[in-house]
Amino acid sequence: MIKFPLARIALFVVASIVIASAISGCAVRPIMTAMATQEGLASYYSQDFQGRRTADGETFDNSKLTAAHRTYPFGTIVRVTNLTTDAAVEVRINDRGPVKPERVIDLTLAAAKAIGIDRAGLGRVRLDVVEWGKRKV
């Protein structure tokens, strides 16, 4: 029996998805669908960012239900669920981040309060894409 390193198997899977997508005429949707759910740590922005520009050009407002994600398109609506309490909130992606690699999303203070992670500063969450954004970058 031949043993394949994990990296080779992952490369094969990704290549298969890309080839199948290209043949079917839809190059992005299958990959995005696979990314529609994530679990990990959420944090929230400090007040230092209030009034600054986000990556999509909006003015940051800690009282709105928005968030930063590394790869989801701007405008994507994501349901963020606190895995400890099952509290959930829907946010719109309008920025890039988080900077720390162990985190999957940065929330505004309003979103963090809605799911109860504002006091601890961090919380284990599940991200479920509700609607994909149309804007790239």
Each residue's pLDDT, cut to its tens digit, for the chain (137 residues) gives 455 565 555 555 444 444 444 444 444 444 555 679 999 999 999 888 999 999 999 999 999 999 999 999 999 999 999 999 999 999 999 999 999 999 999 999 999 999 999 999 999 999 999 999 986 65
Q: Which CATH superfamily is domain 36-131 in?
A: RlpA-like domain (2.40.40.10)
> What pTM did the predictor assign?
0.74
User: What's the pLDDT at 46?
Assistant: 84
For residue 22, the tally of other CB atoms under 10 A from its CB is 10
**What pLDDT is stored for residue 134 in this prediction?**
86
